[in-house]
Amino acid sequence: MTSKKTVERTTKETTIRVEASIGSGKSNVDTTVPFLDHMMTALAKYGGLDLTIKARGDLRHHIVEDVALTVGQAIAALVPKGAARYGERTVPMDDAVVQAILDVGGRPFYRGPIPSTFFEHWMRSFCDAAKFTLHLRVLRGEDRHHVVEAAFKALGFSLAQALADTGSVFSTKGSVSLSAKQRKQS
């Protein structure tokens, strides 16, 4: 079991707090955006993540974006050294069928789209903050709610696969570490 990670983001526009751990899919989500709450609850459940999210802000757009950035950072902090790294799942939901293909190996990239500008932006911001690669393919779907929800469920399942600790590094490069040194300015 991974320890709990807490990430807080405060700007003039929003205040976000996320607690995340690999667990059983329990969530306590309060963002003031009901559909975002629903999607974060689905992500936690299908990803086997215990998530506590509290968000307040001025505009729906700012809350959605900043929750994505904060959740991305929190989940990235959970990636074990021996993570399976890759995950893939296709989820049907009524008329919708969505496939998520994920790599948690430290390279930010997102390719969609899904039929919601808010949640398309959520996916891109999440991947940028987490440094994950995510390809979402909407194979079918007319109802935007069903497509977006299937996308979050597919992402959750993919996260559960990719975050599984195999005890081995899945890269021909071996374990990659980065460091940055701050130069003293005169």
- Residue 28 confidence (pLDDT) above 60: yes
**155 contact partners, CB below 8 Å, separation of at least 6:** 43, 46, 47, 100, 102, 123, 134, 136
CATH at 26: 3.30.230.40
- Burial label for 147, CB within 10 Å (0-12, 13-18, 19+), is buried
Rounded (5°) CA angle 150-154-159: 150
pLDDT at 171: 64
Q: 53 lies in a domain?
A: yes
Q: 154 lies in a domain?
A: yes
Q: 142 lies in a domain?
A: yes
Q: What digits encode the pLDDT tens for the residues 98-129?
A: 999 999 999 999 999 999 999 999 999 999 99
**3-class DSSP assignment, residue 26:** coil
Q: 145 lies in a domain?
A: yes
Number of domains in the chain: 1
Q: HSE (CB half, 13 Å, CA atoms) of 176?
A: 10
Q: 170 lies in a domain?
A: no
Mean pLDDT of the chain: 93
Question: What domain range includes position 81?
Answer: 5-163
Query: Which one has a higher pLDDT value, 15 or 1?
Result: 15
**3-class DSSP assignment, residue 56:** strand
Sheet containing strand 27-30, edge to edge, reads 5-10, 14-22, 49-57, 27-30
| Threshold 0.95, pTM exceeds | no
- Could you tell me the two tokens for 77? 């902090």
Q: 180 lies in a domain?
A: no
φ/ψ region of 16 (left if φ > 0, alpha if ψ in -120 to 50, else beta) reads beta
Q: 20 lies in a domain?
A: yes
pLDDT at 167: 84
Q: Which of 17, 82, 83, 80 is nearest to 51 (CA)?
A: 17
Q: 184 lies in a domain?
A: no
- Residue 14 confidence (pLDDT) above 90: yes
- Residue 154 confidence (pLDDT) above 60: yes
